């Protein structure tokens, strides 16, 4: 019986751990930082740090081919908060075996930032919903596009 339980732990537990992450679910939000003082009538900058699982890349926000799916952030709406232009990093040029042209990709870690204007009537604290949309690839193999939802916390500055 002990041998069976030991075998079960060695074989089944790793399979359960692997099943928790599906192919293509390669991005995680490492952190969301809000720079500046969140006060009514003010302006802050949100910095979203994204981490990709080892061996994956995602197409940049300006893919090298129109048929490739760009990585983008969509900012939700909250009364009294207005998002400005989103700033993405430059894509890295990567040659992939089997493809003629190099790809414009993000790898490992990257940051996306954008200003948030706060109206004089904004109710703080609040949080702004956001979604990172991306398609993860390993070499020339790309997986189903993903939407990763997260929140941008806006605490009232003192």
Show the domains of the chain with their CATH numbers. Answer: 23-154 (2.60.40.1250)
The token pair that represents 39 in the structure block: 């006060």
CA torsion, points 127, 46, 123, 132, in degrees to nearest 10?
-30
Give 89's contacts (C-beta < 8 A, 6+ positions apart): 60, 106, 110, 111, 112
Give 17's contacts (C-beta < 8 A, 6+ positions apart): none
> Do residues 127 and 44 touch, judged by C-beta distance below 8 A?
no
Per-residue pLDDT of the chain in tens (158 residues, 90 and over written 9): 444 433 334 443 344 344 446 778 999 999 999 999 999 999 999 999 999 999 999 999 999 888 899 999 999 999 999 999 999 999 999 888 877 889 999 999 999 999 999 999 999 999 999 999 999 999 889 999 999 999 999 998 76
pTM: 0.83
* pLDDT value at residue 92: 92
């Amino acid at each position: 019986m002990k041998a069976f339980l030991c075998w079960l732990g060695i074989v089944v537990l790793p399979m359960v751990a692997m099943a928790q992450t599906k192919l293509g679910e390669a991005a995680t939000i490492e952190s969301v930082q809000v720079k500046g003082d969140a006060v009514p009538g003010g302006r802050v900058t949100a910095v979203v740090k994204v981490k990709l699982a080892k061996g994956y890349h995602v197409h940049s926000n300006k893919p090298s081919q129109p048929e490739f799916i760009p990585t983008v952030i969509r900012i939700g709406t909250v009364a009294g908060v207005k998002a400005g232009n989103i700033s993405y990093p430059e894509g890295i040029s990567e040659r992939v075996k089997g493809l003629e042209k190099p790809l414009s990709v993000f790898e490992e870690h990257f940051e996306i930032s954008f200003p948030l204007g706060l109206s004089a009537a904004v109710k703080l604290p609040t949080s702004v919903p956001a979604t990172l949309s991306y398609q993860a690839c390993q070499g020339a193999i790309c997986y189903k596009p993903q939407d990763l939802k997260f929140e941008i916390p806006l605490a009232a500055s003192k």
